[in-house]
């Protein structure tokens, strides 16, 4: 029996943390170095992602959200259509449903990924209008 899981999973990172040095000065140096490493990654992401995507815009989020919603609607509508035949799916029906689900999942992941870009400060968003 095969199992297909849908949904997203964010991978955690297993950073090596040696406990060999009890010297507080060495620990501070290590923490400082790790902060430099993290900032270097942040700066690279901010620069390259900013160049590729430009400034954030609520319309970009809206377009992606609409595309994901449309993909979900098409996927579910197709599932309902093929289930009307008594639940007997052809291999072509199954392939189509798989493709439609994957499309929805990719668009949803892209939306979540874009949201994380804003959360992390990689993409600048204009100030919200006062009101």
pLDDT in tens, 95-105: 999 999 999 99
The token pair at 39 is 């900032």
Which of the four pLDDT bands, split at 50, 70 and 90, describes residue 107?
A: very high
pLDDT digits (tens, 9 = 90+) for 25-52: 988 999 999 999 999 999 999 999 999 9
Contacts of 50 (CB under 8 A, 6+ apart): 122, 123, 124
> What integer pLDDT is reported at residue 64 of this predicted model?
96
The token pair at 69 is 């919603």
Q: Determine the Cα–Cα distance for residues 110 and 80; give it in Å rounded to an integer.
A: 26
Q: Determine the Cα–Cα distance for residues 124 and 67; give it in Å rounded to an integer.
A: 22
pLDDT digits (tens, 9 = 90+) for 14-30: 666 666 667 889 889 99
The DSSP call for residue 37 is H
% of the chain with per-residue pLDDT over 70: 83
Q: Determine the Cα–Cα distance for residues 131 and 129; give it in Å rounded to an integer.
A: 6
Task: Provide the whole-model pTM.
Answer: 0.72
pLDDT digits (tens, 9 = 90+) for 58-72: 999 999 999 999 999
Q: What is the dihedral of CA 85, 88, 94, 96, to 10 degrees?
A: -20
> What integer pLDDT is reported at residue 114 of this predicted model?
94
Contacts of 31 (CB under 8 A, 6+ apart): none
Q: Determine the Cα–Cα distance for residues 101 and 98; give it in Å rounded to an integer.
A: 5
């Amino acid at each position: 029996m095969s199992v297909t899981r849908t949904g997203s999973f964010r991978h955690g990172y297993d950073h090596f943390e040696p406990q060999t040095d009890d010297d507080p000065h060495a620990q501070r140096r290590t923490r400082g170095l790790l902060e430099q490493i993290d900032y270097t990654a942040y700066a690279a992401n901010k620069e390259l992602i900013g160049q590729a995507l430009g400034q954030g815009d609520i319309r970009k989020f809206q377009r992606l959200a609409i595309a994901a919603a449309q993909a979900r609607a098409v996927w579910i509508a197709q599932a309902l259509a093929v289930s009307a035949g008594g639940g007997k799916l052809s291999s072509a029906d199954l392939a189509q449903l798989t493709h439609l689900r994957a499309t929805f999942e990719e668009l949803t992941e892209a939306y979540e990924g874009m949201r994380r870009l804003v959360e992390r400060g990689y993409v600048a968003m204009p100030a919200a209008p006062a009101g």
